[in-house]
Structure 1
Amino acid sequence: MKLLKHILNFYLNSSIHVALSCYALVRITFHVFHIQYDEPMALFVFFGTIVGYNFVKYDALVRVKKKPIRNQLKIIALLSLVSLVLVGYYFFQLERITQIVSFGILAITALYTLPFFPNRKNARNWAGVKIYIVAVCWVGATLVLPLINAGIPFTADFFIKCIQRFILVFVLILVFEILDLANDDPHLQTVPQTIGVKKTKLLGLLLLVPFCLLELLISTFNYKDLFINMIMVAMLSLFIVFAATNRSKYYTSFWVEAVPIFWWISLSLMH
């Protein structure tokens, strides 16, 4: 049992789980816009997420706090290095325009982590900004890049899906912020810190309403996808309702982050 727990913790701490969630959203994008499976694009996002998230999570721990590097962190560093090599490999298989846009997303990630401006903390610590930066990065990586690489024009469907994807990620992060309320710096001004837990839950539930309604405006709308979307929304609604500061870390780091994975699997099984 201890071994399984160690494996699970490594799986989560090394950002493989969140990378799989991003990969799932890329596959959903392929499905929605009828894009043939693009392995370099999908794996570029998968390995890029591992590198990006591990850099964000452990940079301050090692560079700023200068804490001793434990064995698990050494393995995560090795995994991140291998992932970085694979990111480079798949990067050169992408279209030139995709490469250029991906640098923009990389710049936002770097801004999120590193203090570029004098006398200012990194963007991660800017009051009220964190949730928007993360949501924009996810939309860019899982929706914008795949469409650009496939050469698909930006139609009304694209903008509707961008809004939907932003809402989805925003709501997922709200659940994280509720659980992190006790540990977050008060100066971060996260949504629960600003409006309280009850109103944050209400906001999350209300945002899922336009998420569902926007699906009806998609030109390729079909009832099968709508049904699956409703199941995903119902699942996410339960996670919002039962979110609390005393929940286990696995509540968000495993179950909540698994929502896009379950969504993708459901779509795959139904088609």
Structure 2
Amino acid sequence: MKVLKSILQFYINSSIHVGLSCFALVQITLMVFHISQQSEVGYFAFWGTVVGYNFVKYEELARAKKIKMRRQLRWIALFTFGAFIMVGYYFFKLERITQIVAVVFLGLTLLYTLPFFPNKKNARNWAGVKIYIVSFCWVGATVFLPLLNAAVAPTISIGILSIQRFILIFVLILIFEIIDLRLDNPNLRTVPQQIGVKNTKILGFVLLVVFCGLELFNINTEFLKLNFGIAIGIVITLFLAFANEKRTKYYTSFWAESIPIVWWVCLLYY
């Protein structure tokens, strides 16, 4: 049992799970637009998410020497280095325009993490900015990159999907922020810190209504896929409704982040 728990902790702490969520959303985008043979962009998104999230989670702590390299952290560092190599490998398999846009989103990630100016805070510490940067980066990685790589022309459907994806990630982050409310620095000015948990949930519910409503206008969505999209909206609504500060970290870092994976599997085998 102890071994299984260690494996699960490594799986979550090394960002493999969130990487799979990103991979799943890329696959959903490709399925919605009936695009095949684009595995390289999915793998790039997966490995890029692993590297990006591990860099964000551990870089500042390591740089400030606030953590010791415990055994699991050494394995995570080694795994992240291997993931970085895989990112480079799949980066050069992408189309040139996709590479350029990917570099732009890499720049956003670095801006979010590193203080570029002496004695200045990074974007992660800019009051209230985190949720928008992260949501936008996920839209870029899971919508813009796969469609650019497949040379899909801009359409209304892409705009609708982008808005939906932004809402999806935004609401999932709201759940994280509610769970982490006791631990977050008050200066971060997260949404629950600014408007309270009750109003945060109301905001999330309204956004999820918009998310489900947009499914009706997406001409690329077949009837059964439409039902899955609405079902996912309902599931996220339940996760948001039952979110509170007493929930364990697995409520978000495993179960909530599993939602895109479950969505993809349902579409894959329906």
Same fold (TM over 0.5): yes
> Are residues 1:108 and 2:108 paired?
yes
Structure 2 spans left out of the alignment, 5+ residues? none
Paired position in structure 1 for 2:197: 197
Question: 1: CA distance between counterparts of 2:141 and 2:233?
Answer: 22
Equivalent-residue separation in structure 2 for 1:220 and 1:15 (angstroms): 31
Runs (5+) with no aligned partner, structure 1: none
Per-residue CA deviations over 1:75-108 (Å, capped at 9, x if unaligned) read 0011111111111111111100100000000000
What one-letter code is carried by the residue in structure 1 that aligns with 2:16? I
- Cα deviation for residue 138 of structure 1 reads 0.3
The offset of 1:67, in angstroms, is 2.3
Q: Could you say what secondary structure the match of 1:196 adopts? A: helix
Deviation at 1:65, TM superposition (A): 3.2
**Where does 1:1-271 land on structure 2 (aligned, <5 Å)?**
1-270=1-270
Question: Aligned residue pairs: how many?
Answer: 270
Aligned-partner residue type, residue 151 of structure 2: G
| Distance (Å, rounded) in 1 between the aligned partners of 2:142 and 2:53 | 15
CA RMSD of aligned residues (A): 0.9
CA contact (8 A) 1:179 1:245 kept: yes
SS in 1 for 2:69: coil
CA distance in 2, matches of 1:224, 1:189: 40
User: Cα offset for 1:66?
Assistant: 4.2
Aligned-partner residue type, residue 33 of structure 2: F
- Give secondary structure in 1 for the equivalent of 2:217: coil
Give me the whole-angstrom Cα distance separating, in 2, the residues matched to 1:216 and 1:233.
Answer: 13
Instruction: Name the CA distance, whole Å, in 2 between partners of 1:207 and 1:37.
Output: 33
* CA deviation after TM superposition for structure 1 residue 118, in Å: 3.6
CA distance in 2, matches of 1:25, 1:143: 8
CA contact (8 A) 2:135 2:166 kept: yes
Conserved? CA contact 1:181–1:192, under 8 Å: yes
CA contact (8 A) 2:32 2:221 kept: no
Distance 2:126 2:65 in 1: 19
1:34 CA drift (Å): 0.8
**Structure-1 separation of matches of 2:227 and 2:196:** 32
**TM-score, reference length from structure 2:** 0.98
Q: 1:220: Cα distance to partner?
A: 2.0
CA contact (8 A) 2:215 2:230 kept: no
* Preserved contact between residue 178 and residue 245 of structure 2 (Cα < 8 Å): yes
3-state SS of 1:220 partner: coil
Task: State the SS of the aligned residue for 1:254.
Answer: helix
Distance across 2 between alignment mates of 1:73 and 1:227: 41
Q: CA deviation at 1:225?
A: 1.1
Q: Distance in 1 between matches of 2:220 and 2:104?
A: 30
How many angstroms apart in 1 are the aligned matches of 2:154 and 2:64? 42
SS class of match (2:115): coil
8 Å Cα contact 1:30/1:37 also seen in 2: no
